[in-house]
Structure 1
Amino acid sequence: MRVNRAWWGLVVLMLPTLLVAMDMTALLLALPQLSADLGATNLQQLWISDSYGLMVAGLVITMGTLGDRIGRRRLLMIGGAAFAVLSVVAAFAVDPLMLIVTRALLGVAGATLAPSTLALITNMFRDARQRGRAIAIWATCQFTGGALGPVLAGFLLQHFWWGSVFLVAVPAMALLLLAGPVLLPEFRSDRAGRLGLADVGLSLAAVLLLVYGIKQLTVESVPVVPAVALVVGAALGLLFVRRQLRLRTPLLDLRLLRNRPFTAVIVALVLAGVAMAGTGLLVTQYLQSVLGFSPVMSAVLFAPMGLGVAVGTMAAPALTRWMPQTAAIAGGLVASALGSLLLVGVGGPGALPLVMIGIAVLALGTGPLFALGTGLVVGSVPPERAGSAASMSETGNYFGGSLGFALLGLLAAVVYRSRMGGLSDSLAGAIAAGQRLPADQGAELLHQARAAFTASLHLTGVIAAVVFAGSAVLVHTLRQTNRSTPATLPTYETTRA
């Protein structure tokens, strides 16, 4: 396709990517207000926030292969239309159950978006450098949207009702449906993976159980149910892998993992997700519960995390003019490790600037991984398998984030409880208990709790630094003779609607 048309097509793909990311993070700020309005219990609030992500994680593999089979543009149009309609339904939900079900269906629609847009970008831009810039812009939209979402929610919630948060994505989806058929070409492959019901069911059940088990590990006091979910999910996952390795046309082509650069980048994406999610969890709580900022102000102060990734992804393609892609990725991860170590020094009057600088450097360093690494993943496979490769990349990102929340959150909780000596299980509990005590005793308890939580943040910074450094070593070991991937991709079948 013509270059100008390809770039205009990218603009069409950018808007829904940006606004859907904003919409999803904005919900976190709207949750208290909508819960009060709908009368949602704590358990219902958990499902309102998690049902979308669970369905995306469970179906992104299936949707990547489905796009390869029926056409990536067609799947994107179907998903965009469904997302717009369901967003309106969610905005006018009348009870918690209606909102939970709608959010789950939004997850089904949302699972079509990331693999379809990324696979289309791979096919639209056949020149390696142009493809790298396009993927960098795509990644920038994701992280910028995530950073700006809470800020947008704060504005909307001050002027409108909570349902307005869900309506943000509707205009972008309308533009996608109008301009997509004109500016986006259709791509499909006759050699795409098969969509057997057993394969789809196994992948969905395995991912849902694993993600659910990981998330619940830090919630349940006696983690029997999460443990059972993890064991059953792992067993179903192994069964799914065995089936895929035996099938001639599998749902998920695991042979892609034989490609060492592909596998190394996927692992690095998972590890980066672990470090970023765990760090983000502790930093946001630190801003609110230790430094005392409001949720809206905390979201503003945390924005350097998302904006840092956005700047890093935009700058990444330029780095390949002076160094190999793997060197740029590894160097960025080293910077992320240094940014994580800055969090170890947090404490005292200068805590806020150090936190903001630390998360900004951490995020900036991950930019080359998300831009160039994602490009290596989808660019190292035949174009007819780009949807499958994109779905593996997205699944890795989501698993990494879930693991980061659970594992680093669990370790932080252990450190906090050991420092508190049984006085409190959480910082929120200590704050609530301190309000019921005499002023001097409450102040002492709160001081001890904040010091214990700060120690948890220090540990998280050290672990994140080790994870980033290990990822840098992994990527650096890859041998790459050229500074970029081949200038052109293999020939592929193009089908225009």
Structure 2
Amino acid sequence: MTLTEMTAPAAAKLRWWALAVLMLPVLLVAVDNTVLAFAVPMISEALRPTGVELLWIVDVYPLVLAGLLIPMGSLGDRFGRRRLLLVGATGFALVSAVAAFVPTAGALIAARAAMGFFGAMLMPATLSLIRNIFVDAEERRLAIAVWAAGFSGGAALGPLVGGFLLEHFWWGAVFLLAVPVLLPLLIAGLLVLPESKDPNPGKIDALSTVLILITMVALVWGIKSVAVYGPGIDLAVSLVIALGVGFWFVRRQLSHDNPMLDVRLFTNPVFSGAVGANLLSVFSLVGFLFFVSQHLQLVSGKTPIEAGLVLLPGLIVTVIAGLLVVRLARFVRPGTIVVGGLLLNAVGYLVVMFSGSSGFDLGLLLAFGLLGAGVGAAETISNDLILAAVPAAKAGAASAISETAYEVGSVLGTAVLGGLLTAAYRTGVQIPAGLTPEQTFAAKETLGGALDVAAQLPAAIAEPLLASARHAFDSGVTLTSAVGVVLMLVAAVLARVTLKRA
């Protein structure tokens, strides 16, 4: 019996059980993202990646995800969103188990790319099912707040469970967290999730899928190149490819009556403004997590679980803020809430900028609380605005756009802020005399590499290297925080202009 065939009380009860089941893949993806951020130092020591490889280990998953979300959203509209969700969950868990045992950085990058492929099946399906299950606007907003809180809850759970695993097992154990989620999701999903499809879905367009992937890879490659190596021919070529192929993709969608992605949705300023706010909120969160996880472990010397506990209050604030804005939205315009969230993100980065070295850890704690409140508020409302702007039948496509913004923000947060941090570190670190060329290269690539090299050196050489490396890293954090402030202020202005009629 489906939701539509039940009596109203029974259907209402089943709606909330269905939402609970949809939280499982959300938690699975969120835990994986946060755990990886905290496993970066151990991965650096175990697999010895270069600075660029380390960024790709973090970035390749959301990059593939971002390139495939729209095609997978269209696929779910055509063949069934529940079916796609269950297939994606199975593949994601299996590949995660493989990733736990890979022997090289290159193999881990490949495994993360495969996780991105299956992860792209998960997220559009969850949001589009919520859009079709909750037809009442206020219920839908609350359901989306719970969905967003699932990301934050997973992010909070990841450091604690992952920290315990990292203290007692090898780095690969963090990827095994996805496996226990698989079985209950498959069983409960078949029992309580309704199947839904678009009666008039967009065509499966293999060429458009390739065009999206090329555009995303070229764009992120260019950003990485300029952030790590400075402006050069790589940047020019990458941007030309991204713009040219992206233009081709848009023209192709406009030429079809029923395209894979209805780009005309972006002519609605509320829709495009909400997508932009979604992207930049995640940008601020992921960029912050990239450097704070390394500072707490490699500079402050905390264990993974101690570092997770430092960030736990901010993650809890993210959950609470996302739920509170549902009630707040009854009295305050949605656009105002989004603008306020983005401004809180800017204040969080300002706190990092002006935290002295003696109070840097306390500053990070306060900054992440502010950032959590801002992201929780902006994400919940922006996702609701995106879904409310389209008919229920097109929920898969709208969800895919929302999730694409989320993942592009994740990629850019690491690529831009992480790339700037890497460049600042390389410029600032001073290498003492007496190191081999291999040791010099490793020490200049990443902070984790410097710590690994210092462990092989006598104290008279190791101590100056460690002091210089840690100072260079935190100086880079200050620089990236300044960039974060500027971007969040620009985002707030854009949101104020585009969402004023929301």
Q: Shorter-chain TM-score category? A: 0.7 to 0.9
- 8 Å CA contact 2:225–2:231 kept in 1: the answer is no
Task: Give, as a single letter, the amino acid of the residue that structure 2 aligns with 1:474.
Answer: L
Q: Distance in 2 between matches of 1:240 and 1:473?
A: 29
Q: How does 1:122-161 map to 2 (within 5 A)?
A: 122-160=131-169
Aligned counterpart in structure 1 of residue 120 of structure 2, from 106, 111, 114: 111
Q: Are residues 1:298 and 2:307 paired?
A: yes
- 8 Å CA contact 1:289–1:427 kept in 2: the answer is no
Aligned counterpart in structure 2 of residue 361 of structure 1, from 357, 360, 370: 370
- 8 Å CA contact 1:119–1:390 kept in 2: the answer is yes
Structure 1's unaligned 5+ residue stretches are 483-497
Q: Are residues 1:474 and 2:474 paired?
A: no
Q: Are residues 1:276 and 2:296 paired?
A: no
- 8 Å CA contact 2:273–2:495 kept in 1: the answer is yes
**Structure 1 residues 215 and 157: alpha-carbon distance in aligned structure 2, compared to 1, 3 A threshold:** same
- 8 Å CA contact 1:347–1:454 kept in 2: the answer is no
- Name the residue aligned to 1:231: 240
Q: Shift of residue 218 of structure 1? A: 4.3
Q: Shift of residue 167 of structure 1? A: 3.0
Q: Distance in 1 between matches of 2:492 and 2:44?
A: 42
Q: Distance in 2 between matches of 1:165 and 1:49?
A: 14
**Structure 1 residues 28 and 457: alpha-carbon distance in aligned structure 2, compared to 1, 3 A threshold:** closer
**Structure 1 residues 59 and 285: alpha-carbon distance in aligned structure 2, compared to 1, 3 A threshold:** same
Q: Shift of residue 315 of structure 1? A: 1.7
Q: Shift of residue 77 of structure 1? A: 1.8
Q: Are residues 1:22 and 2:18 paired?
A: no
- 8 Å CA contact 2:422–2:446 kept in 1: the answer is no
SS at match of 1:336: helix
- 8 Å CA contact 2:224–2:416 kept in 1: the answer is no
Task: Give, as a single letter, the amino acid of the residue that structure 1 aligns with 2:23.
Answer: M
Q: Are residues 1:380 and 2:389 paired?
A: yes
SS at match of 1:8: helix
Q: Shift of residue 124 of structure 1? A: 0.7
**Structure 1 residues 467 and 104: alpha-carbon distance in aligned structure 2, compared to 1, 3 A threshold:** closer
Q: Distance in 1 between matches of 2:296 and 2:478?
A: 14
Q: Distance in 2 between matches of 1:133 and 1:364?
A: 17
Q: Which moved more, 1:93-102 or 1:194-203?
A: 93-102
Q: Distance in 2 between matches of 1:33 and 1:413?
A: 18
- Name the residue aligned to 1:492: none
Q: How does 1:195-234 map to 2 (within 5 A)?
A: 195-215=204-224, 217-219=226-228, 228-234=237-243
Q: Shift of residue 27 of structure 1? A: 3.7
- 8 Å CA contact 1:214–1:402 kept in 2: the answer is no
**Structure 1 residues 416 and 317: alpha-carbon distance in aligned structure 2, compared to 1, 3 A threshold:** same
Q: Distance in 2 between matches of 1:68 and 1:273?
A: 26
Task: Give, as a single letter, the amino acid of the residue that structure 2 aligns with 1:277.
Answer: V
- Name the residue aligned to 2:73: 64
Aligned counterpart in structure 2 of residue 179 of structure 1, from 165, 188, 210: 188
Q: Which moved more, 1:116-125 or 1:162-171?
A: 162-171
Q: Which moved more, 1:62-71 or 1:15-24?
A: 15-24
- Name the residue aligned to 2:439: none
SS at match of 2:198: coil
Matched residues, number: 481
Q: Distance in 2 between matches of 1:96 and 1:446?
A: 24
Task: Give, as a single letter, the amino acid of the residue that structure 1 aligns with 2:491.
Answer: S
Q: Distance in 1 between matches of 2:425 and 2:53?
A: 27
Q: Shift of residue 140 of structure 1? A: 1.1
Task: Give, as a single letter, the amino acid of the residue that structure 1 aligns with 2:190.
Answer: P
Deviations, residues 152-193 of structure 1 (Å, cap 9, x unaligned) = 122224445555433322232221211212211111113222
Deviations, residues 40-87 of structure 1 (Å, cap 9, x unaligned) = 765876665544333212211110111111111121122122223333
- Name the residue aligned to 2:436: none
SS at match of 1:247: coil
RMSD between aligned alpha carbons? 3.4
Q: Distance in 2 between matches of 1:99 and 1:442?
A: 30
Given the two structures, how large is their TM-score scaled by the length of structure 2? Answer: 0.84
Q: Distance in 2 between matches of 1:350 and 1:94?
A: 39
- Name the residue aligned to 1:495: none
- Name the residue aligned to 1:191: 200
Aligned counterpart in structure 2 of residue 54 of structure 1, from 54, 58, 63: 63
Q: Shift of residue 372 of structure 1? A: 1.0
**Structure 1 residues 97 and 415: alpha-carbon distance in aligned structure 2, compared to 1, 3 A threshold:** closer
Q: Distance in 2 between matches of 1:199 and 1:116?
A: 20
- 8 Å CA contact 1:67–1:188 kept in 2: the answer is yes
Deviations, residues 123-145 of structure 1 (Å, cap 9, x unaligned) = 11111111111111111111221
Q: Which moved more, 1:19-28 or 1:116-125?
A: 19-28
- Name the residue aligned to 1:457: 477
Q: Shift of residue 17 of structure 1? A: 1.2
Q: How does 1:305-316 map to 2 (within 5 A)?
A: 305-316=314-325
- Name the residue aligned to 1:325: 334
Q: Distance in 2 between matches of 1:412 and 1:106?
A: 26
Q: Percent identity?
A: 38
Q: Shift of residue 317 of structure 1? A: 0.5
Task: Give, as a single letter, the amino acid of the residue that structure 2 aligns with 1:399.
Answer: V
- Name the residue aligned to 2:130: 121
Q: Distance in 1 between matches of 2:105 and 2:474?
A: 35
**Structure 1 residues 44 and 467: alpha-carbon distance in aligned structure 2, compared to 1, 3 A threshold:** closer
**Structure 1 residues 300 and 226: alpha-carbon distance in aligned structure 2, compared to 1, 3 A threshold:** farther
Deviations, residues 80-108 of structure 1 (Å, cap 9, x unaligned) = 22223333444465777765544433221
SS at match of 2:352: helix
Q: Shift of residue 297 of structure 1? A: 2.9
Q: Which moved more, 1:215-224 or 1:204-213?
A: 215-224
Q: Distance in 2 between matches of 1:349 and 1:46?
A: 29
- 8 Å CA contact 1:143–1:309 kept in 2: the answer is yes
Q: Distance in 2 between matches of 1:415 and 1:120?
A: 44
Q: Shift of residue 259 of structure 1? A: 1.0
**Structure 1 residues 129 and 153: alpha-carbon distance in aligned structure 2, compared to 1, 3 A threshold:** same
**Structure 1 residues 206 and 324: alpha-carbon distance in aligned structure 2, compared to 1, 3 A threshold:** same
Q: Distance in 1 between matches of 2:273 and 2:157?
A: 31
Given the two structures, how large is their TM-score scaled by the length of structure 1? Answer: 0.84
**Structure 1 residues 232 and 168: alpha-carbon distance in aligned structure 2, compared to 1, 3 A threshold:** same
Q: Shift of residue 266 of structure 1? A: 1.1
**Structure 1 residues 106 and 439: alpha-carbon distance in aligned structure 2, compared to 1, 3 A threshold:** closer
Q: Are residues 1:336 and 2:345 paired?
A: yes
Task: Give, as a single letter, the amino acid of the residue that structure 2 aligns with 1:472.
Answer: A
